[in-house]
């Protein structure tokens, strides 16, 4: 049992599930099961009941709060989630970069961790709309950092809007490394905000290949605005907590999987 002393009754277990989703915004069934010390089958049934009461929205592989499709977590909220997973994902994603590359890097806490790994390269050109990515590379003279224009979106420390999109329109890079708030086989990568999605799409269009960095808490989660459809995703870098059935579905659609071990 989760507390090691007594059984967790259904009402208490469901309250714990609700509390976890309220704190984290979106939680996978696997993580919920681990947190409450029950099977995924039991948790799936609990989530279905909570959805029937209007307290949760159920999605393939996880649960969110009602209206969560359009809720954008702040940088601080995202920074507190899946820290170990983001570290191993960043390490593995950095292996897809070569000296002399021109790459684009989108906004997010996972891409920030990825950017910190780039300082070991001898020569790179990095295009980004993220202040956090630019800051991570600011002291490395061998890396040329090109920032987009745009309006600062303080909640994610990134530049958005038409100037950001226009500055990306004439560029071509080998790979784009982007994150998001959810990834499903049906819709691909998504985010709750229209402006963020527009810039992410512009970053993806500038690249020969799109690399999505997404920890297991985002796999199977859907949010309001599609950024990159599944057929346009070349690589997915995730961790070994991601649901196997969804990864298999993505692989069957042509996505190359890179699974980091925690």
CB atoms within 10 A of CB 22: 12
Fold of 10-66: Arc Repressor Mutant, subunit A (1.10.10)
> Would you say 189 and 226 are in contact if contact means Cβ atoms under 8 Å apart?
yes
- CA quadruple 111, 197, 149, 127: dihedral sign: positive
Confidence of residue 1 (pLDDT cuts 50, 70, 90): very low
Instruction: Give the DSSP letter of residue 130.
Output: B
- Candidates 135, 198, 209; CA nearest to 165 is 198
- H helices within the chain, ranges in order? 10-24, 29-36, 40-52, 75-79, 83-94, 109-116, 131-137, 162-169, 194-205, 244-252
> Would you say 251 and 209 are in contact if contact means Cβ atoms under 8 Å apart?
no
Per-residue pLDDT, 76: 54
Least confident of 43-52, 80-89, 100-109: 80-89
CB atoms within 10 A of CB 108: 29
CB atoms within 10 A of CB 136: 24
- Candidates 133, 226, 239; CA nearest to 186 is 226
High-pLDDT (> 70) share of the chain, %: 88
Q: Where in the chain is the domain with CATH 1.10.10.10?
A: 10-66
Domain 75-260 in CATH 3.40.50.1360? The answer is yes
Confidence of residue 221 (pLDDT cuts 50, 70, 90): confident
Alpha-carbon torsion angle 155, 158, 162, 167, nearest 10: 180
Q: Where in the chain is the domain with CATH 3.40.50.1360?
A: 75-260
Residues in the chain: 262
Q: What is the pLDDT of residues 127-158, one digit of tens each?
A: 999 999 999 999 999 999 999 999 999 888 99
Q: What is the pLDDT of residues 36-75, one digit of tens each?
A: 888 889 998 999 898 888 888 876 667 877 765 545 555 5
User: Global pTM?
Assistant: 0.74
Using CA atoms, how far apart are residues 11 and 49, in angstroms rounded to an integer? 11
Phi, psi of 59 (to 5 degrees): -130, 165
């Amino acid at each position: 049992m989760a507390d090691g002393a007594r059984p967790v009754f259904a009402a208490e277990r469901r309250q714990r599930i609700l509390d976890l989703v309220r704190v984290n915004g979106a939680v996978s069934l696997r993580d919920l099961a681990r947190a409450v010390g029950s099977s995924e089958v039991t948790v799936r049934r609990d989530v279905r009941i909570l959805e029937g009461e209007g307290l949760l929205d159920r999605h393939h592989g996880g649960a969110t709060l009602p209206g969560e499709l359009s809720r954008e977590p702040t940088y601080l909220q995202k920074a507190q989630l899946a820290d170990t997973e983001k570290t191993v994902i960043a390490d593995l994603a950095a292996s897809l970069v070569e000296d002399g590359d021109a790459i684009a890097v989108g906004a997010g806490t996972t891409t920030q961790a990825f950017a910190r790994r780039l300082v070991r390269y001898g020569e790179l050109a990095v295009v980004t709309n993220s202040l956090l990515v630019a800051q991570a590379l600011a002291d490395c003279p061998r890396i040329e950092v090109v920032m987009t224009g745009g309006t600062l979106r303080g909640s994610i420390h990134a530049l958005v809007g038409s100037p950001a999109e226009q500055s990306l329109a004439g560029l071509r890079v080998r790979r784009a490394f982007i994150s998001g708030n959810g990834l499903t086989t049906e819709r691909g990568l998504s985010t709750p905000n229209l402006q963020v999605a527009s810039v992410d799409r512009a970053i993806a269009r500038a690249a020969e290949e799109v690399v999505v960095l997404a920890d297991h808490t985002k796999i199977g989660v859907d949010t309001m605005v599609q950024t990159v459809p599944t057929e346009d995703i070349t690589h997915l870098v995730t961790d070994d907590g991601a649901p196997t059935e969804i990864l298999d579905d993505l692989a069957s659609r042509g996505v190359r999987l890179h699974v980091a071990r925690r």
